[in-house]
Structure 1
Amino acid sequence: MAPFGSLPQTPGRVLGCCAICGEFVGPQSASIGPGIRAADIFKSSTEWKQCVQKQGYVSGHISELEKVYLRHPWLWAWLYRAILYEPSTDKFRLTGVGFAREAPNGLIQVPAARDHFYICLRLKEEDGIKLTEAFPLGITWARSSQWATQGYPIHERCWTLTTRLLDIRLVKGHLKEFTRALQREWFGMRHYEGDVIEVLRDTDYWGRWLGVCRMAGGLIGIFYMGAFVVPVGKSIHSLFQPKDGTTFVPPFMRFHKHGIKGLGTPVDAPRFFFNGLDAESAAKWTATLTASPVNTDRLANDAYSTLPWAYLVLEDVLTLAKEY
């Protein structure tokens, strides 16, 4: 790894795109959310506000990011980690989670410890926080021996989503094969404007990758627990509605002033949604639920027939009839 401050900067040169989803890492992603500034991320929680006022930065274990709600969802694209590559040793290494520069300088600059995150507007090493840096590479670029340390930036959310599907221990243990698999998948696509599911849906390729890692495949992780499997052509709303056109309100939902055309809120969520958890955990997750409108968008993309899924039927589900 290159020590922090050891590589020449290139002001104005951006980090480029996420090696998994192909979208920009950093401020360029804010073009769809004008007015977003880097400092806005510290408004995400009272604790973060206090931390930045006291010490000028926020840091901690990456598990804390799972609990954070960002007011501006575009800021998730500013949080990234990297897979670093050192040509001299032909070794790959995973970094921690950093925050993209509002004024980019052409370098990946993130915590060296892969289980930690560090968010600071004026980037510098702090006590107990060791940073590393590298030249960013696009996933479709050839690696160069002229750069001592180079890396592939990846959105933290894309990394989390991918490693839930493919098993985080497997990916961490085979970073070289994982990076090679991503490169071949992107080169094999007709264009580079996909999304996470588009990249991961090639079951034949990822099956070969598992073979390289000496894994037979099978059920290697749980992606969703207790999810509605909405058939192609239906929406979450139509899934529950009678075929005769009448409107049915599920027992776990309540609608308010504008009826079914307005916002709905959960009814007795601990019983309907979290009945497999203890009371304390159920109460905790119930507190995260919010009001939402009816989702009438019909599913057009048939991901079920291409993704390597296994379905487990939960016998104690209360939101769906047994016939479903």
Structure 2
Amino acid sequence: MELRVLQYFLAIAREQSIVRAAESLHLSQPTLSTQIKNMEEELGKQLLIRGTKGSRKITLTEEGMILRKRAEEILELVKKTENEVTLSNQIIMGDIYIGTGETDAVRILAKAATSLQNTCPGIHYHISSGNSTFVMERLDKGLLDFGIVFGTVDLTKYNALKIPAKDVWGVLMRKDSPLAEKETIAPEDLWDKPLIVSQQENKGGTLTQWLKRQESDLNIVATYNLIFNASLLVDEGLGYAIGFDKIINTTGNSNLCFRPLKPGLEDEMSIIWKKYQIFSKPAEKFITVLQEHLNAR
């Protein structure tokens, strides 16, 4: 399977039309159709469902949707590799890819990046947000250089630097909520409340243990991946969101407030990368400067 043909396939998936895809690729329609047909024969699977005469819209089969996801990852990795190789013998410039959950600890990365700006202005940073599973999956596929994760790190797979900061768990709520009168929130305060929890914690984790209740015994009205979206649900009165402090602004005219949990619940953080990873020059420079910043704290 050639990279060129993967690009053709993605163009069809994007345009949902062989005609429009051919135009965007500056190919003839028969040439493009032949290339995709040959790929289907090579894989032994139908990838596209061609529209009827009344509708020329192209849709993907289940196998086509799988290939689309993998093709995007493959081409992204190829681009990343080409950039690293092309710039390997030149001045330090290029791209650094970092995955992280929503945490105020990103400021530590920002400080390291800022200190590099004067000497290495050609370094560019790409931040992807997601939970620990998302971060580690992309690390394992080589799509990220570094990731920030919470809790214990598998040191057989990753190198890790402890971040000297902890994220504090608490409850995001409206200022006119009954619980807003409290300075801290205890487990029993939440047992009968409509809760909005992270998708990762909804599957069982530290928070579930702290609440001293099974998921089925709680009133979980919604789950979130990004707490900004959860904050909008809270603002509209749907429920109480459990998450980390310092991510949503609760000062000034905000309708929201944050109350920490009691007993307190904190998560340690680490920045990780794959063991035996060969860094690009920008990534190598960045981790060196980050280590210096952490050692100076």
* Greater fraction of residues in helix: 2
TM-score (norm: length of structure 1) = 0.24
* Greater fraction of residues in strand: 2
TM-score (norm: length of structure 2) = 0.26
